[in-house]
Structure 1
Amino acid sequence: MPVDGRLARGDATRREVLRRAVDLASVEGLDGLSIGRLAGELGLSKSGVFAVFGSKEELQLAAIEAANAIFTEHVVDPVPASLTGPDRCRELCERWLDYSEARIFPGGCFFFHTCAEFDARDGRVHDALVARSRNWTRLLVESLDGVADAEQVVFEIEALARAANAFSVLYGDADAYRRARTGIRARLAQL
């Protein structure tokens, strides 16, 4: 069955807008997104972009979903299913640090920035960020199945990884990721 040209163009427009939106949000936050700005930067009509998303909030929610897909592609999917326990957790953390350090998003980790932006707010955007963050934390905790204090270990690991992103972005600290890797490896080696 042939694909309607309008649907294909709409999908292409959606992907193009979302890629630019996640890059912008990683630097300026989700509040920095606007349909008019994205349309102007991409040479699209404002009405065309509005037709794809309908509102700023829908654009923000779609950006979270798109950023999560990119994160999953770079961090979760490459980890072999055969890895279990601390080895799986270590590999997930290595990929997470690689993703942040490589600046897949220009502002570092998309979720570090946007979660801080919406942490004290209510609403659908906040709830989507919380759900995504809880899923990531749960994945790390589940990788440590059988470890007595898995939630504490994951809390410490997440603190190190978040600090690496913050020190790297804010201070330009070139050693932040190395120090986080050292700390995470040491903590997991204790298990």
Structure 2
Amino acid sequence: MTGVDGRVERGNRTRRTVLRRAVDIASVEGLEALSVGRLAGELELSKSGVFALFGSKQELQLATVRAASRIFVAEVLEPVSEAAEGVERLRGLCEGWLRYSERRVFPGGCFFYGVMAEFDAREGPVHDALVEAQRVWLAELERCAERARAAGELSADTDPAQLAFEVVALMETANAMSLLHREATPYVRARRGIASRLRT
């Protein structure tokens, strides 16, 4: 029994190692750049062993999206889990996202920004997984904006969905421009824009 448990733990450890490398690659080169052979070679693992963990390229891509989602939750959502509802939590989420991108938790900036552009016009399970991840994120921002409006922290005519769309646009533009120009100024501008939007 101990031997079985040890094999399972080794398999889980290998899976985590493979997925950590996979999310880093995909954040820079896209999900289509992933292959069992490449990951096995880079990590000095057997190709058959890596294949046994995932079974297909699509399952590897889906597992990579799920792994990136877990990292995103830990980096952006969990740090504000104790924040007061409303504007405080909304500010915390925006700042957490900007720090996550700025610190290059993924070397390609925001993992989801990059791979959504790759799959936005496609159909299939990977597209659907990315849509769901985006929906969860937008829904959390909208929920915070709705609570802030109900508490009188935002004007009564605030549209939570529109506000969420605008702050995401500022954050994602900062991510893209910072990567392209190799500078931090876009994050400064995004923070100013978000602060201004939340004041109004």
TM class, shorter-length: over 0.9
Aligned-partner residue type, residue 19 of structure 1? R
Q: Tell me the C-alpha RMSD between the 2 structures.
A: 1.2
Supply the distance in 2 between the matched residues of 1:189 and 1:87 (Cα, whole angstroms).
12
* Residue in structure 1 matched with residue 98 of structure 2 by the alignment: 97
Partner of 1:157: 167
Q: How far off is 1:171 after superposition? A: 1.7
Comparing 84-93 with 42-51, which one deviates more in the overlay?
84-93
Aligned to 2:183: 173
Which one-letter code corresponds to 1:129 in the other structure?
A: L
Task: Name the structure 2 match of 1:84.
Answer: 85
Report 1:1-191 matches (<5 A).
2=2, 4-146=5-147, 147=149, 148-190=158-200
Unaligned runs of 5+ in 1: none
Tell me the alpha carbon deviations over residues 57-106 of structure 1, each in whole angstroms, 9 at most, x when there is no partner. Answer: 00000000000101110100010434111111110000000000000000
Deviations 1:19-59 (A, max 9, x none): 00000000000000000000000000010000000011000
CA distance in 2, matches of 1:173, 1:7: 44
How far did residue 157 of structure 1 move? 0.3
Inter-partner Cα distance in structure 1 for 2:90 and 2:104: 21
Instruction: Give secondary structure in 2 for the equivalent of 1:145.
Output: helix
Out of 180-189 and 79-88, give the one that drifted further. 79-88
Q: Decide whether aligned partners of structure 1 residues 82 and 27 sit closer, same or farther in structure 2, where only a CA change above 3 A counts.
A: closer
Displacement after TM superposition at 1:173 (Å): 3.0
Q: TM-score, normalised by structure 2?
A: 0.92
Q: Distance in 1 between matches of 2:81 and 2:143?
A: 15
The TM-score, its normalising length taken from structure 1, stands at 0.96
Residue 122 of structure 1: how far off its partner (Å): 0.3
Provide the C-alpha distance between the structure 1 equivalents of 2:184 and 2:6, rounded to a whole number of angstroms.
47
Q: How many residues align?
A: 190
